[in-house]
Amino acid sequence: MAGRGGGGPNRPNGAAAANKICQFKLVLLGESAVGKSSLVLRFVKGQFHEFQESTIGAAFLTQTVCLDDTTVKFEIWDTAGQERYHSLAPMYYRGAQAAIVVYDITNTDTFDRAKNWVKELQRQASPNIVIALAGNKADIANKRAVEFQEAQAYADDNSLLFMETSAKTAMNSHIPKLPKSEPQGTAGQGGRTRTGVDLEQTNPQGSSSSRCCGGN
Ligand code: GTP
Ligand code: MG
């Protein structure tokens, strides 16, 4: 697994000592080549690679943003979409507060695969998990195979958040509304309170967190 290390929240000496710290474990799931790693790269580094390598096993990245007096640390598991890694997935979604299930709007098979991931999460992940469905590659809507309305209706029927995204153009490449956990990452009883963390507003290039909170 590619990794940048786990461990507790970064707290540089003296910085933000009075801050509340919220931790979110976030997992990305979906067929290979739908753009999971590209979305994470966009969110964490503000970059896009035309030739993004297929993930092996999973990749772990973190991103920290400051919202007023709260430091929000995202612990992101970017899983590998190739079928041979499927059996590893529960390790990554177990205990996750949020999952983003990604499909490619130009490929109906990936939408079917996304629905299977949603079913698996609903059966086996934490009951409080917030699931978002992301129809990626919206920049090539001229090759669209999955209609927006169809995906929206499916998301509504299954109580999912839904958005179309583009890692390439950065469209909707913020993290959608998430439950607010207790400080230090202990999910509260009311874990479904949706505060919303719009990272396009708080951290448009994925770099301001480093200045503000000590980064990752
Ligand atoms: P696995 O790691 O194999 O599971 O794939 P993945 O879901 O992580 O896909 P990845 O991010 O590696 O992207 C696959 C290909 O799609 C790459 O060539 C990306 O450049 C391209 N891609 C990703 N996101 C977008 C997007 O929003 N628009 C377009 N046009 N291409 C994209
Ligand atoms: Mg990948």
Whether residue 126 lies inside any domain: the answer is yes
pLDDT for residue 44 is more than 60: yes
- For residues 197-215, average pLDDT: 36
- Kindly calculate the radius of gyration of the chain based on its CA atoms and give it in whole angstroms: 16
Q: Which of 49-58, 88-97, 107-116, 171-180 has the lowest mean pLDDT?
A: 171-180
pLDDT of residue 134: 98
pLDDT for residue 43 is more than 50: yes
Pocket test for ligand 1, best of 38, 40, 41, 86 (most atoms within 8 A of CB): 38
More confident residue, 2 or 43: 43
Whether residue 213 lies inside any domain: the answer is no
Q: Which of 82-91, 136-145, 178-187 has the lowest mean pLDDT?
A: 178-187
Which tens digits make up the pLDDT trace of 131-180? 999 999 999 999 999 999 999 999 999 999 999 999 999 988 865 444 45
Whether residue 131 lies inside any domain: the answer is yes
The domain of 58 spans 20-164
Q: Which of 5-14, 51-60, 86-95, 205-214 has the lowest mean pLDDT?
A: 205-214
Minimal-distance CA residue to ligand 1 atom 14:
33
CB of 105 sitting under 6 A from ligand 1: no
CB of 86 sitting under 6 A from ligand 1: no
Whether residue 12 lies inside any domain: the answer is no
Whether residue 48 lies inside any domain: the answer is yes
CB of 173 sitting under 6 A from ligand 1: no
* Centre of ligand 1 from the C-alpha of residue 91, in Å: 23
CB of 38 sitting under 6 A from ligand 1: yes
pLDDT of residue 173: 80
CB of 33 sitting under 6 A from ligand 1: yes
Q: How confident is the model at residue 69 (pLDDT cuts 50, 70, 90)?
A: confident
Distance CA 216, CA 184 (A): 16
Number of independent structural domains in the chain = 1
* Centre of ligand 2 from the C-alpha of residue 175, in Å: 17
pLDDT of residue 18: 56
Could you tell me what percentage of the chain is helix, strand and coil, using 3-state DSSP and rounding each to the nearest 5?
Answer: 30, 25, 45
Whether residue 210 lies inside any domain: the answer is no
The owner of tokens 């709260």 is 70
* Centre of ligand 1 from the C-alpha of residue 81, in Å: 11
**Position in ligand 1 atom list of the atom nearest CA 80:** 4
CATH number, domain of 62, equals 3.40.50.300
Whether residue 102 lies inside any domain: the answer is yes
**E strands within 86-129?**
98-104
**Position in ligand 1 atom list of the atom nearest CA 171:** 27
Whether residue 94 lies inside any domain: the answer is yes
What average pLDDT is seen over the chain?
A: 80
Would you say 171 and 139 are in contact if contact means Cβ atoms under 8 Å apart?
Answer: yes
CA-to-CA dists, residue 146 to 92, 119, 132, 134, 149, angstroms: 27, 19, 17, 12, 9
